[in-house]
Amino acid sequence: MKPIPLLVIIVLLIALTSGAKSDEVDKWINDLKNPNPYVRLAAAYYLGETDDPRAVGPLIQALKDEHSDVREYSAQALGKMGELAVDPLILAVNDTNSAVRAGAVVALKAIGNPRAAASLIPAIRDENSSVREIAALALGTFNDSKAVDPLIHALNDDNIDVRENAAWALGMINDPRAVDPLIKLLNDTNSSVRLNATRALITFIDPRAVNPLIQVLNDTNSSIREYATYGLGDIGDPRAIGPLIRTLNDEDSFVRMGAAFALGDMDKEAIDPLILAIKDINSTVRVGAASALGMINDPRVVDPLIQSLNDTNCSVRKEAAFAFGRIDINDSRAVEPLIRVLHDENCDARIYAVYALRDIGDPMAIEPLIKSLSDNDSEVRIGSAQALGSYGDSRAVEPLIKALNDKNDDVRWNAAQALGDIKDPIAFEPLVQALNDTNKAVRWNAAWALGAINDARAVDPLIKSLNDEDIDVRFASMDALEKLGITINENNNLTTPLSKEDESSILLTEI
């Protein structure tokens, strides 16, 4: 297409910023007949931005304009006009000008009417590569099986973008005829083409792809290797276990993670090889093996994961602790090793051990978790507070009361919540004091906890909290008061004023 003169660009900008008034639309429709082709071009462009149904007929006529740029812009404009434009655009796919043909294909793709698919199939062999590229993309959206063979042919196109889009389209249509051709495309010289071929191939979940995808695990492109792990995990063929375990040593973290997830998806068939891999001399392999075992709910994974909690590498210990938090197996054999990890030099390992001990729920962990409330890492202290709340043991009350004064906001509000979970009245006074904390989340959880403890002495402090500057704290106080036998309605006299942000006529009354 020839460059658009500056005057036309200025006209377009003025038109687009001035809005689509009815008389302006009429003017642009008339301008489609202007002797100046650039005025006609500007008119076509502008009408496409208006979505005005009156423009459909004139734009269809403009598809016959002697100036190819006008035809191209008219085709693109019609793509925004819906079903009425489909038949004229189908004709425009055969225009003598390649830019017009490309514009028509784009427009038909945008409209999305299945009738257009048949006209786009010949476009996949158009002499112009841009038309072929767009046609391949469009055919993928129509999901028409008649397009499969032409798209397979396009996998051999000289143009990289055509091959790339054809691969994507075949993945979208998902016809099994495309599997073998896509497998061949995995050897394409261009990495973008190979990537789309891999993405398309894994959508089929076809056993024919297992060995080719195993080979792809050695591709120089990390994204391709990553997608290959996803595909092998979905297929679940045991042939992939060994190669995937080796891939746990990949230099790219996303590839390693994909391999771990894939092995986890294979479930019990992968356990024995993973147990061997967790003893590998390479620590990265051991990390991946621990991660994969953590996705398999089988009692056989417990012993190797316990051994990994004592690994010399902190990343392996961290992953093993994390694995115990994921598996749905509350095995008491893991408790003592996890307690030892609470003293690990790696704070992430300590955090994961805290959450794993919470999920296992063995009382043996209570005293160690109480000590972890003094950990130098705030995330460990947060997790310890949460875990102790879930145990509901009164031994944790005094340490959690102390944690209400922690310098970290999140530790304080989790401590307040944990005290509410335990419901020990010893926490009453400290929680009342926490209603004045500088952090709104602490005040909110303190109000909730006072309601959970259900001590009548909390009524007056909670009524005062109805004037808190934060609306969430005010509503938490209302909920707590209701648990204590105080209701709020719209019929009685106010006993304490509420902010305008609250329901304007809410009143307090004691039941």
Residue 239 within any structural domain of the chain:
no
Measure the CA–CA gap between 76 and 96, rounded to whole angstroms.
16
Q: Is the pLDDT of residue 248 over 50?
A: yes
SS3 504: coil
Residue 478 within any structural domain of the chain:
no
Predicted pLDDT at 334: 94
Residue 106 within any structural domain of the chain:
yes
Is the model more confident about 410 or about 277? 410
* Pairing outcome for strands 486-489 and 507-510: antiparallel
Residue 363 within any structural domain of the chain:
no
Measure the CA–CA gap between 93 and 116, rounded to whole angstroms.
10
Residue 35 within any structural domain of the chain:
yes
Residue 31 within any structural domain of the chain:
yes
Predicted pLDDT at 357: 96
Q: Note the helical H segments in 236-298.
A: 241-247, 253-265, 271-277, 283-293
Predicted pLDDT at 488: 67
Q: Which residue reads 């009815």 in tokens?
A: 22
- The enclosing domain of 107 has a CATH number of 1.25.10.10
CB neighbours of 174 closer than 8 A, spacing ≥ 6? 203, 204
Q: How many domains does the chain have?
A: 1
- The answer to whether the pTM exceeds 0.85 is no
Measure the CA–CA gap between 343 and 130, rounded to whole angstroms.
62
Predicted pLDDT at 345: 95
Confidence of residue 500 (pLDDT cuts 50, 70, 90): very low
Count of CA atoms in the C-beta half-sphere (13 A) of 141: 17
Per-residue pLDDT tens digits for 159-217 = 999 999 999 999 999 999 999 999 999 999 999 999 999 999 999 999 999 999 999 99
The per-residue pLDDT of the chain, averaged, comes to 89
Measure the CA–CA gap between 432 and 359, rounded to whole angstroms.
30
Per-residue pLDDT tens digits for 58-71 = 888 888 888 888 88
Residue 498 within any structural domain of the chain:
no
Predicted pLDDT at 299: 92
Question: Which domain range does residue 3 map to?
Answer: 1-111
Predicted pLDDT at 406: 98
Confidence of residue 86 (pLDDT cuts 50, 70, 90): confident
Measure the CA–CA gap between 276 and 478, rounded to whole angstroms.
57
Predicted pLDDT at 97: 87
Residue 82 within any structural domain of the chain:
yes
Per-residue pLDDT tens digits for 88-143 = 888 889 888 898 898 889 889 988 888 889 989 999 999 999 999 999 999 999 98
